[in-house]
Amino acid sequence: MRFEGKKILVCGMARSGVAAAKCLYEEGAFVTISDNKTEEQLLSALEPIANLPIEKALGGKEVDMKAFDLLVTSPGIPLTAPILVKAKEAGLPIIGELECGAEISKAPLYAITGTNGKTTTTTLVGEIFKNMGKVTYLTGNIGYPITACARDAKEDEIMVSEVSSFQLETVTKFHPHVAIMCNITEDHLNRHGTMQEYIRMKERIFENMTKEDFAVLNADDATCAAMANHIPCTPAFFSRKKRVELGTYAENGEMFFVKDGQTRKIMDTKDIYIPGDHNLENALAGAALAMLAGVPAPVVRHTLMTFKGVEHRIETVRTVDGVTYINDSKGTNVDASVMAVRAMKVGTVLLAGGSDKHCDFTPFAEEIKKSKVHTVVVLGVTGPQIKETLLKVGFTSIAEAKTFEDAVNTARHIAKPGENVLLSPACASFDMFSDYEQRGRVFKQLVNDMVEK
């Protein structure tokens, strides 16, 4: 798709929308930006495009859809939003910022989606390619818009994108060479309505791929494994429980890669730096993608032995008065926080709660009851719901906090030397913060500001 000379409306002026507007202007398009917020409210966000001759339709200003050739939308805007409904009714083509960047980039594209593990796996894959000596761009839902670097990405470089279900709502030609489906658990039902629709959106990552491309599927996740029956590309698998015929698996403390009937040992699983069963799955998935893309096994092995994980995912912040504080702000859904709770090996005070995604907290509560967590401090919009669910499963050691700072202070008061305080909310952050990253940073700041008693 060529954008030069096109009249394009870019909707949503968060990071991806601003990046798209700048990129499209540089591609030679006539750009108009739209957002419900006013220019004054968006002042800092608009700084990267402040000096560009871009038209503005801010503060909810009406636009004539017939004046445009294309609408590029940010992933945070649902298809049910009035502006997108109006565009569709006017027959105006709609694509997402992800699609826009993928069309402009010349670099081979590798993509990762699923419910949990996306950011860790994406970052790991990026490190593997970098260690092979490739210029590599980490983009997408990981926090860096693909349009911010699409025009720079060359044919002999690599584009690795974390892809969300929100971004996949608007794909039309999006075509990775290898794509990973990490897992599927309940999430984002407030946007997609049903699990069936959520799964359908996730599967869209494969719809433009061909038999020459590979889909790396979680063989231990029934929903993911079943996708092999109807996707258009070649299915490969990763598993920590059984052998696979194409892909990676773990067995007896060793990791293997299988292709064309040949099985090769990659490494001993004990040498993988990032701990836990969930990280073994992330390592298997990343290794499968990399080796299917032609990365040599020694490069994969070296990266898995040295890669230290990502910020906000079971990240040790500091030990204060003998208590270790752990930031898992990236635990934005039940399954992610279940994994974090499961990783605790000593007595733990858990901070949980946030904005509502309309998810069932029962699996979370059941995991807490049988874990090392002895007290839960609930907060946010979902605090009462989590408390009610915990009581239903027979877990009664619950404290309530009105503010985030209050929650951290309450946890500090309760935790004893040798124990952990774990922030793993099982919820999004939008009731108190702009995103999970801000929530994690605030948590770390509060912990780093603590004075030893």
The answer to the question of residue 453 being in a domain is no
The answer to the question of residue 12 being in a domain is yes
Q: Which two tokens stand for residue 377?
A: 């401090």
Q: How far apart are CA 99 and CA 392, in angstroms?
A: 44
At 72 the pLDDT is: 98
Q: pLDDT tens digits for 226-252?
A: 999 999 999 999 999 999 999 999 999
Q: Which residue has the tokens 């038999």?
A: 211
User: How many structural domains does the chain have?
Assistant: 3
| Antiparallel, parallel or unpaired: β 254-259 and 247-251 | antiparallel
69 and 202 part of one domain: no
At 193 the pLDDT is: 82
- 405 lies in which domain range? 315-448
Looking at the annotation, which residues are catalytic?
118, 141, 188
Residue 379 sits in a domain of what CATH number?
3.90.190.20
At 248 the pLDDT is: 98
Residue 60 Cα distances to 51, 73, 80, 91, 444, angstroms = 22, 15, 16, 21, 36
Query: From the centroid of its chain, how far is CA 402?
Result: 28
129 and 49 part of one domain: no
The answer to the question of residue 349 being in a domain is yes
At 42 the pLDDT is: 94
User: What is the crossing angle of helices 383-392 and 362-369, to 10°?
Assistant: 60
131 and 159 part of one domain: yes
333 and 254 part of one domain: no
At 261 the pLDDT is: 95
Domain boundary among 72, 92, 112: 92
Q: What residue ranges of the chain have pLDDT lower than 50?
A: none
